[in-house]
């Protein structure tokens, strides 16, 4: 029934939205163990990240309706090309932003604080996590693609694996072994691993859709 389809599509989205504040609260708690300076530095760095990724997010939002429309029209060639271009753009844009942020991290930190400890943690955050920016965007684009291919459960699984299986356990381990830098390294490993996983999952979904079209 149409009601069941709505629940099937909406349920995973609700679960994904629930996972984000859970991860944020856990990470904030872990950061709090290293002092309010760590919380302030990570908060400032997070705002810079949000500003920097407005452009790729604008592209990502358009991916789901584009993929869905072409999936309905059985134009899997367009879906394949769009995913290829989006992935390349994510890696190139993420790499460019990472280079700029790594080079300018101390200067950017000075715009937010004059506290040397906060500035130092901010710089560590940027210079560690920035290496995963491209992979993080690849994960987002892959999830948008899965939703466009009518695989909302798969898209939610990507988020669930990221938060519950990789990010939170690694964050505890990283903070225990390496302090605040270990916590940032855990985020980097999460971005790289889950970006790769999501990309492979999205391409697998595309190949399965192509097989169904050829078989049908």
Summarised one tens digit per residue, pLDDT across range 94-123 is: 999 999 999 999 999 999 889 999 999 999
In this predicted structure, the answer to whether residue 92 has a pLDDT above a threshold of 80 is yes
- Identify the band that residue 5 occupies on the pLDDT scale cut at 50, 70 and 90: very low
Whose structure tokens read 């225990």?
Answer: 176
> Residue 51: pLDDT band by 50, 70, 90 thresholds?
confident
Q: How many CB atoms lie within 10 A of CB 5?
A: 10
**Given the structure tokens 């855990």, which residue do they identify?**
186
Residue 199 pLDDT level (bands cut at 50, 70, 90): very high
Question: How far apart, in whole angstroms, are the C-alpha atoms of residue 182 and residue 193?
Answer: 16
* Predicted pLDDT at 20: 80
Q: What is the DSSP letter of 105?
A: H
**Contact indicator for 145, 158 with CB cutoff of 8 Å:** no
Residue 206: its pLDDT value, please? 96
Give pLDDT, residue 3: 38
pLDDT given at position 15: 65
C-alpha distance from residue 62 to each of 46, 54, 57, 86, 118 (Å): 23, 13, 9, 11, 37
pLDDT at 23: 87
| pLDDT class of 161 with cuts at 50, 70, 90 | very high
């Amino acid at each position: 029934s149409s009601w069941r389809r709505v629940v099937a599509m909406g349920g995973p989205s609700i679960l994904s939205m629930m996972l984000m504040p859970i991860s944020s609260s856990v990470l904030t708690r872990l950061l709090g163990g290293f002092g309010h300076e760590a919380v302030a530095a990570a908060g400032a760095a997070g705002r810079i990240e949000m500003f920097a990724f407005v452009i790729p997010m604008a592209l990502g939002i358009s991916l789901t309706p584009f993929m869905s429309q072409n999936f309905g029209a059985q134009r899997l060639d367009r879906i394949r090309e769009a995913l290829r271009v989006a992935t390349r753009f994510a890696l190139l844009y993420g790499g460019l932003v990472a280079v700029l942020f790594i080079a300018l991290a101390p200067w950017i930190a000075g715009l937010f604080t004059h506290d040397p400890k906060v500035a130092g943690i901010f710089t560590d955050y940027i210079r560690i996590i920035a290496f995963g920016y491209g992979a993080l965007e690849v994960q987002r684009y892959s999830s948008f693609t899965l939703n466009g291919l009518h695989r909302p459960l798969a898209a939610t699984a990507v988020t669930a694996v990221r938060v519950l299986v990789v990010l939170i356990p690694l964050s505890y381990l990283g903070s225990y072994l390496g302090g605040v830098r270990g916590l940032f390294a855990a985020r980097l490993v999460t971005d790289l691993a889950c970006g790769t996983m999501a990309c492979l999952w999205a391409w697998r979904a595309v190949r399965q859709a192509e097989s169904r079209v050829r078989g049908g």
